[in-house]
Amino acid sequence: MNTELGTVRKRKTGNLTIYLFLIAPLAVYAIFFLFPNLNSLFSSFYKWDGVAPVKEFVGFSNYIKMLGDPLFWKSFGNTIKYTITLVAFQTLCGLLLAVLIFKASKIHNFFRTLYFMPAMLSAVTVGLIFGFIYDPNMGALNKFLEAVGLENLTRSWLSDENIVIYALAFVHVWVGIGQSVVLFVAGLQNIPYDLYESARIDGAGPWKQFTRITMPMLKSTTLIVLVLTTIGGFKCFDYVFVMTGGGATHSSEVLATLLYKEAYAYSDFGYSAAISVALLIIVSVITAVQMRLLRKDA
Amino acid sequence: MKKWICLAMVMVMVCAALVACSVPATPSGGTDETAETPAAEQPSDDGEETEDPPAQSGGDVSINFITWRAEDADVLKEMVAMFEEQNPGIKVNLEITSSDMTEYYTILKSRLVSGEGADIFHCHPGAYLDQLVEAGYCKDLTDTGLGELYDEEFYDIGVINNKLYGLVQTYNSFAVFYNTKLFDELGLQKPSSYADVLAAAQASTDAGYMPIAAGFAEAWTTGMVYEQLMANYSPDDDMVFKKLEDGEYKLSEEPYLSVLNDIAQMNTDGLFQKNAMGTKYDASLSLFARGEATMLITGTWSVGGLKDMDESLEFGLFSLPGVNAEAVGIVSPSQLICVNDKSSATDAAMKFAEFLSSVEAETFYSNNTKQAPTVKGVEVDVAELAEVSKLMEGKTAVLSDTYIKDPVMVSIMDEVAAKILGGQDVQSAAAEGQAQIDALIAENNG
């Protein structure tokens, strides 16, 4: 009896300790995530310039304005283009590079580190580096194209409205590809070698091995990469902000830069909050769908 | 025993988190005696302060001076040292935040709202000053006697509702800088008409130089073109942008149409360097300083910076003429000195404002930053400033009168100009801009 009571008491004390340990992370979560997001939601129903002592309640006006604002839709379209480019290239190129360096097993650690190095640079540094590379007058890219006789391909990379969003997404791909490579290589290491051996005995060539073994076995990893890059794409701000600031003529405006401008350049914090709520909903829905696919696969 | 250790650790972590997240009680400015009083008392619903800021008593006072003027950093540091020497009880923390205006006002506003770290600050005339005055952050300087120390033409720039809230520390002008050595090499004279500018641009291009270097990748730089042209076409209509904001004027009508047509014409004529829309402002300065471009469109605030890039660089200045309009000299008031009315160290901040308004300080500032003075009785001895004053020899327009108040309107105008510089036709760019303006007016009225 005493032993049972002792066990129950020990379990209760153990649970209490666990709950107490949870207080700190929950407090951090509430302060740095829950509170700012609830505050954003709250602010989206007000009109406020950031300094006035009184906020004016405007109900759903900011959301109505958002739905009729061409700039919001332009930014939304740009965000979609940016995200699709990022997801496509970071996933496909990441997979391709991972497979290639995995085959070269002796040096794959070296390449994995090499590809991951850009991720260690700060976004501002990367933005400044590519700002110089893309500079239309003195930039390395145009100078290189001129040097190899491709003058007709030189252009103003960050002001041509048909190109700028892809030029910016490329920078993000360059930075993020290392992360995809690391994840894919980890996934490849978990595929049993016997499967390939059996397939070879059955006469399967490299392409068949890739499509019938590698791809299905990497499904979970691929979904993780897709989720991470999609979220990264929708939240993109730093590279765009540093290199173009959303210009020229909003051709590289994305939702994150738009909500920043609405708050700090145009002093419309309520409208900015409404855009941030919309962005949160969009990212949450897409992530939920992807996570559902991930769970289904698991 | 273990569980008590765990419990103690958890309590320490929670307490640490709570302490780290709590609001510090000590204001940035103010004496130790005022430390327990928040620097900015919470305003009441009508926007008025609920309590007067606490008065300073003995002891050292520390005040924060916030500015975006990174170009003047060394000069301002020396001025702070001069002030501290004269006022041993007051310490001034000079904080230069960001030369990007959006970032600057983000930081300034957050400091003002939090009540920390902005006892005296620089502000632009126009929308930003309006906002800060309305929110009660700018001290009324009307009866302080400081306004009278400045030239009369600059007094009204800091006035809102008949009260003085800002003191114009210096003024600038938009100008096209031309490299005198390269002009001599190409046999060119200082342009005085559009035909002259066009000839200079063509001669530059033919000789392998860039014509006018422009950093149009940064939207604000297009403002230097359309505001200059607007002044050229409507030198006496100081409400020209106000009328556009009120809906009285339309972008598709005069005088805007002439201005927009001129921008298109200049673009077609190849007045600006290739890829100007993709060139950042700083890069345009480099192109000129390195002698790759014969001309540069900027403001007179760049005089000191260009000299810093290359001491041997020799240049002259002229105002950009319109295709069918003579150039007008632009008087563009630069930073205003404002004192935070909600600071706990207002008296010390006022003393610093008095120092900045003195002949001694303004002479030092103008001579060393090569910017035109605004305080009465200041004599400067800078060759480049003589060039600036030449811009004002003919007709002039004070830009603050024509400032666009609404930052969204500024953005719309920048965008219209950028679209035209990017090759879009004037009619459609004006129509798109006007649609945005109409929507803005409807929103502001609704």
Phi–psi pair at B295, nearest 5 degrees? -135, 165
Are A23 and B10 a contacting pair at CB < 8 A?
yes
Instruction: State the smallest CA–CA distance between residue A57 and chain B in angstroms.
Output: 14
Phi–psi pair at B443, nearest 5 degrees? -65, -45
In-domain check, residue A16: no
Which of B374, B403, B432 is a domain's end point? Answer: B374
In-domain check, residue B22: no
pLDDT higher than threshold 80 for residue B58:
no
Cβ partners under 8 Å of residue B442, min gap 6: none
**B209 lies in the same domain as B238:** yes
pLDDT, tens digit (0-9, with 9 covering 90-100), for B69-120: 888 889 999 999 999 999 999 999 999 987 777 788 888 988 898 887 799 9
**Tell me, what's the pLDDT at B288?**
96
In-domain check, residue A12: no
**Tell me, what's the pLDDT at A59?**
93
Contacts of B7 in chain A (CB under 8 A): 17, 20
**B258 lies in the same domain as B301:** yes
- Distances A12 to A17, A235, B373 between C-alpha atoms, Å: 9, 42, 76
Contacts of B408 in chain A (CB under 8 A): 266
Mutate to test the interface with B, among A19, A33, A137, A242 (most CBs of B within 10 A): A137
Whether residue B440 contacts residue B406, with contact meaning beta carbons closer than 8 Å, is answered with yes
CB atoms within 10 A of CB B314: 13
In-domain check, residue A28: no
Question: Tokens at residue A270, please?
Answer: 């309520």
In-domain check, residue A50: no
In-domain check, residue A88: yes
pLDDT higher than threshold 60 for residue B278:
yes
Mean pLDDT across the stretch B223-252? Answer: 83
Residues B435 and A160: their CA atoms lie apart, in Å, by 24
**B206 lies in the same domain as B138:** no
Are B422 and A21 a contacting pair at CB < 8 A?
no
DSSP string, B182-215: HHHHTT-----SHHHHHHHHHHHHHTT-EEEE--
**Tell me, what's the pLDDT at B31?**
37
Place of tokens 């405006």: A253
pLDDT band for position A105 (50/70/90)?
A: low
Q: Cis before residue B255, ω within 30 degrees of 0? A: yes
In-domain check, residue B359: yes
Question: Residue B278's domain spans which residues?
Answer: 172-332+393-445
Are A247 and B112 a contacting pair at CB < 8 A?
no
**Tell me, what's the pLDDT at B372?**
87
Domain count along chain B: 2
**B299 lies in the same domain as B286:** yes
Strand, coil or helix: B13: helix
**B400 lies in the same domain as B266:** yes
CB atoms within 10 A of CB B84: 15
Question: Tokens at residue B323, please?
Answer: 């295709």
Question: Residue A175's domain spans which residues?
Answer: 66-296
Q: Which of B85, B71, B132 is nearest to B302 (CA)?
A: B71
Secondary structure element (H or E) that encloses residue B155, with its range: helix B152-155
Q: Which of B137, B292, B408 is opposite residue A266, by nearest beta carbon? A: B408
The A-side interface with B (CB below 8 A) comprises: 13, 17, 20-21, 23-24, 27-28, 31, 49-54, 65, 131, 134-138, 155-161, 244-245, 247-250, 261, 264-267
**B98 lies in the same domain as B140:** yes
In-domain check, residue B35: no
CATH classification of the domain holding A88: 1.10.3720.10
Residues B366 and B373: their CA atoms lie apart, in Å, by 6
Domain count along chain A: 1
Q: Which of B132, B287, B411 is opposite residue A137, by nearest beta carbon? A: B287
Q: What is the mean pLDDT of chain B?
A: 83
**Tell me, what's the pLDDT at A43?**
93
Residues A221 and A211: their CA atoms lie apart, in Å, by 15
Mean pLDDT across the stretch A4-12? Answer: 67
**B248 lies in the same domain as B143:** no
pLDDT band for position B21 (50/70/90)?
A: very low
Secondary structure element (H or E) that encloses residue B94, with its range: strand B90-96
In-domain check, residue B120: yes
Whether residue A156 contacts residue A236, with contact meaning beta carbons closer than 8 Å, is answered with no
In-domain check, residue B47: no
pLDDT higher than threshold 50 for residue B49:
no
CATH classification of the domain holding B247: 3.40.190.10
Whether residue B442 contacts residue B245, with contact meaning beta carbons closer than 8 Å, is answered with no
In-domain check, residue B41: no
Q: How many CB pairs under 8 A join A and B?
A: 117
**B127 lies in the same domain as B67:** yes
Strand, coil or helix: B112: helix
pLDDT band for position B154 (50/70/90)?
A: confident
Q: How far apart are the first and last CA of chain B?
A: 67
Q: Which of B4, B228, B187, B34 is nearest to B119 (CA)?
A: B34
Contacts of A56 in chain B (CB under 8 A): none
Instruction: State the smallest CA–CA distance between residue A177 and chain B in angstroms.
Output: 27
Instruction: State the smallest CA–CA distance between residue A247 and chain B in angstroms.
Output: 7
Mean pLDDT across the stretch A112-125? Answer: 84
**B310 lies in the same domain as B289:** yes
**B75 lies in the same domain as B203:** no
Contacts of A50 in chain B (CB under 8 A): 109, 113, 131
Whether residue A241 contacts residue A247, with contact meaning beta carbons closer than 8 Å, is answered with no
Mean pLDDT across the stretch B376-380? Answer: 88
What is the DSSP-derived secondary structure letter of residue B52? P
More confident residue, A274 or B49: A274
**Tell me, what's the pLDDT at B275?**
86
DSSP string, chain A: -HHHHHHHHHHHHHHHHHHHHHHHHHHHHIIIIIHHHHHHHHHTTEE--SS-S-PEE-TTHHHHHHHT-HHHHHHHHHHHHHHHHHHHHHHHHHHHHHHHHHHSTTTHHHHHHHHHGGGGS-HHHHHHHHHHHH-TTT-HHHHHHHHTT-GGG---TTT-TTTHHHHHHHHHHHHHHHHHHHHHHHHHHTS-HHHHHHHHHTT--HHHHIIIIIHHHTHHHHHHHHHHHHHHHHT--HHHHHHTTT-STTTT--HHHHHHHHHHTS--HHHHHHHHHHHHHHHHHHHHHHHHHHHHH-
More confident residue, B368 or B393: B368
In-domain check, residue A254: yes
Q: Which of B6, B47, B105 is opposite residue A54, by nearest beta carbon? A: B47
